[in-house]
A = this chain, B = another copy of it.
Amino acid sequence: MQRIGVLTSGGDCPGLNAAIRAIVRSAIALGWSVTGIRHGYEGLLRGEVVPLDAAAVSGIINRGGTMLHTARSSEFETSEGMKRAAAALDQLGLAGLLVLGGNGSLRGAWELSKLARTPIVGIPKSIDNDVGGTDCAIGFDTAVNTVLEAIDRIRDTATSHDRLFLVEVMGRKNGYLALAAGLAAGAEEVLVPEVPTDLDAVCRRLEEGKRRGKRSSIIVVAEGDDAGGAFAIAEAIAKRVSGYEIRVSVLGHQQRGGAPTAFDRLLASRLGAAAVNVLKGGQRGKMIGLIHDEVVVSDLERAWREMPRFRPELVTLASVLAS
């Protein structure tokens, strides 16, 4: 009987538990057993392991967060720490390790994979959707819907008070989350790092909107937008456009939590089950993804070398449809 390990690394997101469940149950179906490593790479270094049987993952498919917990590890980021982690991993005597992580954590998995004998396979998760090798990372769809629900609520009060709202959404380096939620919410503007933000043009459109009788507006801002965060942009707009009462809302950490959507549970279930199969096939240094509804195995490097396609034309579409 083989034993494999699983850990979750980096920021948590909805769907991790569904993936852990799929890994455990798929492994058991092969006659294998599963060891959970708590607190990500930090826990690997500290030897925090816990056995995961079928009952341990019962009733978790619909729960946000990660039952294995996660943590940042500064030691793991040093070459010394990485070596220690490789040794610690090999000492566990696992037939393979599955790492649920974003592009940074999967890069860590790749480097670890070069030092350790234990085969490692990565599974992409990220509410920012910034992982290559898959159309969509686990957690993104739920986060989009969570943000959307918050903006729908803010829209109620924006309309009632004839206000201009700037809603800041997670996304330091990219605007997938802001774009998807903003377009779905019918936001007047979506400001993202991928498209240089022209505040003059934004203000011009706000003025035009006012002339057409628009009294309230929603601007969705990815936190890493080049024009600054929502507060800075609000100030800049206030200086240029009059007649709007402006409010700012920073959505914060609620974007990471909540019960996963159907899409995320399906994605996590399929990727988790497929990752076990990759280990079974004897592969290492790989990642698993879903591309056009097919499970695809890629080299781990793809996770951070290739981003999902960003569609700047949808930024424009958002403004057109909100006119």
Contacts and interface: CB of A to CB of B under 8 A. Distances in A.
Contacts of A317: 269-270, 273
B249 A321 contact: no
A102 interface: no
Given A146-B153, A266-B184, A321-B26, A247 B257 contact: no
Interface string A300-319: 00000000010100100100
Contacts of A160: 8, 12, 16, 65-66, 69-70
A309 B293 contact: yes
A152 to B, nearest CB: 6
Interface in A39-74: 39, 54, 59, 61-66, 69-71
Interface string A183-223: 11110000000000000000000000000000000000000
Contacts of A249: 252-254
Interface string A264-280: 01100110010000000
B258 A153 contact: yes
B257 A155 contact: yes
A146 B261 CA distance: 10
A153 B311 CA distance: 29
A37 interface: no
Contacts of A69: 159-162
A181 B156 CA distance: 21
Nearest to A67: B160
A317 B274 CA distance: 10
A258 B162 contact: no
Interface centre among A144, A153, A263, A321 (most CB of B within 10 A): A321
Contact of A22 (B153, B266, B321): B321
A104 to B, nearest CB: 15
Contacts of A263: 141, 144, 184, 263
Interface centre among A253, A262, A311, A314 (most CB of B within 10 A): A262
A232 interface: no
7 contacts: A54-B323, A69-B162, A144-B263, A145-B261, A249-B252, A249-B253, A263-B263
Across the A-B interface, give the 6 residue pairs with the lowest CB-CB distance, nearest first. Answer: A153-B257, A64-B156, A156-B257, A65-B156, A12-B160, A65-B160
